[in-house]
């Protein structure tokens, strides 16, 4: 089995695991609209991210099935760096699972405020306000290194960055309004996507 074939299989598995993980938590914590106090409406950022997902999915599928058609955007990365991308994705999945466990029933698939919303400050939330989005960025940016293709990597990273920035802005405004000073104090001691270097 050639090295490139191994990475194509890994890239395909990455998306299968990602979708399965999201599907599992969507089913586990699915709620009716009756549990929602406030929810983000469709935004330009969401529409743009959804638009970018179409060529991203298409380019990834082409790369996995018939890579010569994506050779125009390939980059000569050393094998060790591509394996580094696999490691980044694994760290992302570990962080994603840790964050889900910490959130429990406070998790929602879309930015919203639930009736019995709690401010979670345990697990990775002790240091970072949005570890799930950190995980998303790690997983999706790993596609650049695993595929060794700048077009695939740029699409997934760009799409994820646009959506994450929009979600964070909305969620922080919503939680600040709901929790008041408690959330303001929480912001002061945590980082958005990475832990604060100093208090």
Instruction: Write the pLDDT tens digit of every residue in 120-150.
Output: 999 999 999 999 999 999 999 999 999 999 9
Cβ–Cβ under 8 Å, residues 30 and 140 = no
Burial class (CB in 10 A: 0-12, 13-18, 19+), 20: exposed
CB 190 within 8 A of CB 129: yes
pLDDT for residue 157 is more than 80:
yes
User: What gap in Å lies between CA 102 and CA 97, rounded to an integer?
Assistant: 9
Q: Is the dihedral of CA 33, 34, 39, 41 positive or negative?
A: positive
How much is the pTM?
Answer: 0.92
* CA-CA-CA-CA torsion sign (129, 183, 196, 46): positive
CATH of the domain spanning 3-189, picked from 3.40.50.300, 3.40.109.10, 1.20.120.1630, 3.30.930.10 = 1.20.120.1630
How far is Cα 163 from Cα 195, in angstroms, rounded to an integer? 21
Q: Confirm if 94 and 131 have CB atoms less than 8 A apart.
A: no
Do the beta carbons of residue 183 and residue 120 sit within 8 Å?
no
Q: Would you state the pLDDT for residue 199?
A: 53
Tokens standing for 14? 């990455």
- Is 193's pLDDT higher than 70? yes
Q: What is the pLDDT of residue 29?
A: 73
Please name the residue ranges forming H helices in 104-149: 131-147
Mean pLDDT, all residues of the chain: 90
Q: Delimit the domains of the chain by residue range.
A: 3-189
């Amino acid at each position: 089995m050639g090295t490139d074939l191994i990475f194509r299989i890994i890239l395909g598995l990455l998306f299968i695991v990602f979708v399965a993980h999201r599907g599992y938590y969507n089913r586990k914590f699915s709620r009716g609209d009756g549990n929602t106090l406030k929810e983000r409406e469709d935004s330009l950022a969401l529409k743009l991210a959804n638009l970018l997902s179409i060529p991203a999915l298409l380019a990834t599928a082409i790369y996995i099935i018939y890579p010569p058609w994506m050779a125009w955007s390939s980059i000569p990365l050393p094998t060790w760096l591509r394996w580094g991308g696999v490691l980044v994705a694994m760290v992302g999945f570990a962080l994603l699972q840790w964050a889900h466990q910490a959130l429990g029933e406070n998790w929602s698939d879309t930015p919203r405020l639930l009736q019995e919303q709690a401010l979670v400050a345990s697990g990775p939330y002790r240091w970072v306000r949005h570890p799930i989005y950190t995980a998303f960025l790690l997983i999706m940016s790993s596609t650049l290194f695993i595929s060794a293709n700048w077009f695939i990597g740029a699409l997934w990273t760009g799409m994820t960055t646009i959506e994450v920035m929009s979600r964070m802005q909305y969620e922080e405004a919503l939680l600040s309004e709901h929790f008041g000073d408690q959330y303001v104090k929480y912001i002061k001691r945590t980082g958005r996507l990475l832990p604060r270097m100093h208090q």
